[in-house]
Amino acid sequence: MVSFDFSSLIDLMNIYPPEVIGVISFFFCTVSILTLFRLFGESGLVLYIIVAFLSANLQVLKAGQYSFYDQPIVLGTLVFSSTFLVMDMITEYYGVHAARRAVWLSFGACVLMTGFMMLALGVRPLTLTPDSPYLCFNRAHDAISVLFLPAPAIFAASLISYVISQYTDIRIYQFIKVLTKARALWLRTALSNILASLMDNVIFSTLAWVVFASHPIDGKTLFYSYILGTYGFRLLLSILNIPVMYLSRLLVQEKRKFDVPLSKV
């Protein structure tokens, strides 16, 4: 009998460069979004946004060494960027009110989960001997501390930039939709993602590394290393989101069970 565990899968993936895992991650996000949309409609999309937002906030604690950049790049950008696409889908098919509700549901989920994990950390670790069979629980306590004890500046900057950038994405998307009389789906998808991603980078980086930081960085480092550091990647993802949006349109045309009428492309 062949045994298999997740550590074996991780070892297998570690063989490949981060760029390959990034491509796999993009397709995993795309398939997940379209599957949840096809099976559960609005509820599936809201579920994806909540899970993606929580996951991105954990992934950002890890960095990868990519061949195109000499410095390590923190993860989470790809997963987080996909939330803008999903927010556009909710705006397109279910309206602005539903999209704004999704923003606050995901915001609340992040605060709620952080609260739960902080309470878990409030229970003191076990007092154990080095040979105790329960040492795994104390190792888990240390791991949870790393994941769920973010610096207050990072936590606050993340939540503030998330709400503002997502609201910006929704408003830009809806504005272009009205302006073009519901045509040019590609235009509103691309522009809303591009501009909202830039705003997220600017707000988060400024708040986390300047306004809330105990040792603020200089303006040059802020602009080149933090604001523009990952924006090229986010710009690429904004373009790649366009065909995914059109695939969602095909699913809608097949199902034809949505309350909001389809827009003309």
Reported as type and span, the H/E element at residue 74 is strand 73-74
Instruction: Tell which residue, 224, 202, 200, 220, has the closest CA to residue 211.
Output: 202
Per-residue confidence (pLDDT) for residue 223, from 0 to 100: 83
pLDDT(42) > 80: yes
* Token pair belonging to 168: 């910006």
Which of residues 223 and 36 earns the better pLDDT score? 36
**Residue 126: partners with Cβ closer than 8 Å, 6 or more residues away:** 132, 134, 137, 138
Q: Determine phi and psi for 108, rounding to 5 degrees.
A: -65, -35
Using CB atoms within 10 Å of the CB of residue 31, give its burial: 0 to 12 exposed, 13 to 18 middle, 19+ buried.
Answer: exposed
pLDDT(261) > 80: no
Distance separating alpha carbons of residues 250 and 138, to the nearest angstrom: 50
Print burial letters for 45-73: b (CB count within 10 Å at least 16), e (below 16). Answer: bbbbbbbbbbebbbbbeeeeeeeeeeeeb
Residues 111-162: pLDDT tens digits?
999 999 999 999 999 998 888 999 999 999 999 998 888 778 888 889 999 9
Tell me the CA distances in angstroms from 34 to 68, 76, 96, 133, 247, one per residue in order: 30, 20, 20, 44, 8
Q: Give residue 256's pLDDT band: very low, low, confident or very high (50, 70, 90).
A: low
For the beta carbon of residue 194, count every other beta carbon within 10 angstroms: 20
Secondary structure (3-state) at 64: strand
Residues 151-169: pLDDT tens digits?
788 888 899 999 999 999 9
